[in-house]
Structure 1
């Protein structure tokens, strides 16, 4: 009799459990080119695993797309209504997505969080039509790298301002001995037009002023003359970023201005060369950010999926995970304040320098929506102008006047 009662109870309990609905699970597709990159992939794997453990009702579907194909593949996915719920974007390509209305505005989610008040200035660049359209995950500023031994042997001091930097670069150039003052991008490559922008900003002006192209202004012409004299006369021509960095690592150049990720390149130097290669914050203003990595929610999700997507973004941007990001990848987080502890700074002093510069980093490129929506055309026109400045004797004022006319035709400002 007891066995029958136990059996009946067991059957009844089983029936009751079977009647309970299984816990619903939200599937979030997350797209990034970083999911298989060394360092970045390690961080994302750790974030996703920890998030799913803490949120068993949400599953992250990882969608890896190589960076070279990313914009094309995302365009296809959005156009065919197969967009990922969450996606990373290179900050320079943000406008191409925002202009199509593909990115949700998370202002309601951001309000009252530390993202509203504690993020670096570059976060303001993720505004479109008056609404925030994403969150900066990675922010950085260019750093100054120099070869301490080359400078000491030549009796040249480490520069403390832009004028001293120009003089030091020129003093270190000895092409006959195979030594150049500067490593820089001097061929068909996106960085060449970044450098053009940087020199214009160093002069206290900009490509666009008061809603109009400003390339024919005397101060811009003078800034680009400085670019020609500093880079064109002191850096070997025909080099892309990889070659420029390797020349510095090999001790063939004295200076390099580049992103903080070049620190990892220094480890490729020979044991004899490595102690000579130093990195400091660029010792003049403005500190300029070459463009960070951003994270976004796709427009048009249902309420529950959007809430889950925001929960994932908020998790990845917690201070503890942003600290791990900096330590694992060597790239600063989107936060304005340092995420490093005092122990971290003692153990990783170079990360403290990188983080300090990043919090003051300002975007290199204009926030004009027409420029950001048509950045490929804008970039191509100014890349051509930069190469003419470096490789021809054509007057700078004519090069810039031609570029301005082409910009006004191809990328008119609103």
Structure 2
């Protein structure tokens, strides 16, 4: 027998009156790499708290899976037929899940609920092969965080060009304690695992030289003078050891927070590290436009439903998505996440008050959008993870074997074309 919601509510209310009776509880599984993060993690906690308050018989199990290895962990869950009920992915990996039929077509859900996505920043990236597979949570542009005290110590101003940036990085890389080992670095790039974090950091420099991984038509453009020049700029930073060696991006953000990195070109999430810095360091951490233009940016992370989730849980998970994308929580996203939310009109006075550098973030987002920049290469969307791994491994080999940049660019060009 199928119970109506009203009858079910009455029966549940009745059981609460019986001695020893307990209310049945539904658990929605929600996996994310943002659990515990200052800013974004706080925002998720606020959404979860309100959802649970308005759905007293539902509990959300918010579980951390670190970003490094997140994709593999999620693929394993989906392939095993046990996906999370609330699906959180990056915008450059969801295509693989969609191609496997693991994601729900959100079109009918959007239409039925009347959700208005007109002007929603980056939402176009959620349409894959004609199907809306997700809702965009963040579209952004990179800015530069810098340590004012370290720049003053190095005798350099805040850089506004590539040449000034390189000079500043050189001036602020030194051995502070005199033990013969560098302990303060001018900047930082991801040099550990061969993944998209690695290639995204290279892309910052490629863009500054006028290069791209692919053009707007999806043709691979790695073996071009502009892209090669950009790779050489990144290579200079690495080979002169102006960056900590062998670290992931999060570790570099941590060193910046500790006052050991002078310049950090990063997305809006760098603010979470700045806010956790010790007061004596935090007062010297400032923001400016990235000196490497156009800035890296584009779509970031998305929320969606798994196609295999039972219908009852899908409906609850969709209600959660509706709450997260509401005006109230999009405004809170801008405030707590310290970055412009994708919903139009979601950056209010409270967000500007809470995030003094909000205009820099808006300008960076607009600059990235105007230049048609996205971390996901056009024509390699579904192969992005594989492309990033192949390219990063070639860059690593280039550094270890001291290969000519042109040779490495040609190799990556050929492998990228094969992936297409």
Q: How many Å separate the matches in 2 of 1:82 and 1:272?
A: 47
| More displaced 10-residue stretch of structure 1: 397-406 or 81-90 | 81-90
Q: Against the structure 1 CA distance between its residues 350 and 405, is the aligned structure 2 distance closer, same or farther, given a 3 Å change threshold? A: same
> Deviation at 1:74?
4.0
Q: Against the structure 1 CA distance between its residues 383 and 291, is the aligned structure 2 distance closer, same or farther, given a 3 Å change threshold? A: farther
Within-5 A mapping of 1:238-317: 238-289=246-297, 292-299=300-307, 308-317=316-325
Query: Cα deviation per residue 1:376-406 (whole Å; 9 max; x = unaligned)?
Result: 3212111122324445531100111122233
> Deviation at 1:109?
4.1
Is 1:22 the counterpart of 2:3 in the alignment? no
Partner of 1:4: none
Is 1:200 the counterpart of 2:190 in the alignment? no
Whether the 8 Å CA contact 2:268–2:338 is kept in 1: the answer is yes
Structural RMSD (CA): 3.5
Partner SS for 1:183: coil
Q: Against the structure 1 CA distance between its residues 242 and 167, is the aligned structure 2 distance closer, same or farther, given a 3 Å change threshold? A: same
Partner of 2:117: 116
Tell me how many residue pairs correspond in the alignment: 387
> Deviation at 1:316?
1.0
Query: Cα deviation per residue 1:333-358 (whole Å; 9 max; x = unaligned)?
Result: 33355x34324423431455445534
Q: How many Å separate the matches in 1 of 2:205 and 2:91?
A: 21
Is 1:384 the counterpart of 2:393 in the alignment? yes
Query: Cα deviation per residue 1:248-307 (whole Å; 9 max; x = unaligned)?
Result: 344443211123333333345454433222122325533323752211122366877655
Q: How many Å separate the matches in 2 of 1:30 and 1:69?
A: 19
Partner SS for 1:22: helix
Q: How many Å separate the matches in 1 of 2:298 and 2:278?
A: 28
More helix by share: 1
Partner of 1:327: 335
Within-5 A mapping of 1:6-405: 21-23=7-9, 29-33=28-32, 36-39=35-38, 40=40, 42-54=42-54, 59=58, 61-62=60-61, 64=63, 66-67=65-66, 70-72=70-72, 74-110=74-110, 115-121=116-122, 123-174=123-174, 178=182, 179-188=184-193, 190=195, 191-209=197-215, 210-233=217-240, 234-289=242-297, 292-299=300-307, 308-330=316-338, 332-335=340-343, 337=345, 339-351=346-358, 353-354=360-361, 356-358=363-365, 361=368, 362-368=373-379, 371-405=380-414
Query: Cα deviation per residue 1:209-265 (whole Å; 9 max; x = unaligned)?
Result: 333322212222122122212443232433332443344344443211123333333
Whether the 8 Å CA contact 2:193–2:248 is kept in 1: the answer is yes
Q: TM-score, normalised by structure 2?
A: 0.77
> Deviation at 1:193?
1.6
| More displaced 10-residue stretch of structure 1: 36-45 or 381-390 | 36-45
Whether the 8 Å CA contact 1:33–1:64 is kept in 2: the answer is yes
Partner SS for 1:299: coil
Q: Against the structure 1 CA distance between its residues 152 and 54, is the aligned structure 2 distance closer, same or farther, given a 3 Å change threshold? A: same
Partner SS for 2:8: coil
Partner SS for 1:256: strand
Q: Against the structure 1 CA distance between its residues 318 and 401, is the aligned structure 2 distance closer, same or farther, given a 3 Å change threshold? A: same
Partner of 1:407: 416
Partner SS for 1:398: helix
Whether the 8 Å CA contact 1:340–1:352 is kept in 2: the answer is no
Q: How many Å separate the matches in 2 of 1:347 and 1:45?
A: 18
Q: TM-score, normalised by structure 1?
A: 0.78
Q: How many Å separate the matches in 2 of 1:127 and 1:48?
A: 26
Partner SS for 1:257: strand
Partner SS for 2:303: strand
Please identify the structure whose Cα radius of gyration is greater. 1
Partner SS for 1:116: coil
Q: How many Å separate the matches in 1 of 2:232 and 2:330?
A: 40
Partner SS for 1:260: coil
Q: Against the structure 1 CA distance between its residues 320 and 223, is the aligned structure 2 distance closer, same or farther, given a 3 Å change threshold? A: same
Q: Note the residue ranges of structure 1 that are not aligned, 5 or more in a row.
A: 1-19
> Deviation at 1:28?
7.4
Whether the 8 Å CA contact 1:228–1:389 is kept in 2: the answer is no
